[in-house]
Amino acid sequence: MKKLPHAIYLALALVMVLIAIPKLEFREAWTLATVFGAVWIGFALLVIAANLHALLGVDEETRQQLEKIKRAKRRMWQLKLRQQESRSRRAKA
């Protein structure tokens, strides 16, 4: 369910690109219309790439790796705290 919006946005972006490409002017050399068309296509491709990235779950893998790192750091801090507590207990005794 979390990936449904990305699929919809991807489909809409692809439809927009398919409709817009025949209407954009690319025949003339660097006019305002040509620059606009190139920038528009660039942004549309960026939107498509972002939605594909989300659909393929690349973020999910990265999130899982970061979560593993966070858990390992928590364990290390807990061990350090326990060691400090035991040292302070020994010093008091």
pLDDT at 8: 96
**DSSP state string for 21-47:** GGGS--SSSS-HHHHHHHHHHHHHHHH
Q: Give tens-digit pLDDT for 33-92.
A: 889 999 999 999 999 999 998 888 777 778 889 999 999 999 999 999 999 998 888 888
Which residues neighbour 25 within 8 Å (Cβ) at sequence distance 6 or greater? 31, 33, 34, 37
CA angle 6, 45, 18 (to 5 degrees): 90
> When comparing pLDDT for 50 and 29, which is higher?
50
- CA dist 35 and 31 (Å) reads 6
- CA dist 72 and 47 (Å) reads 35
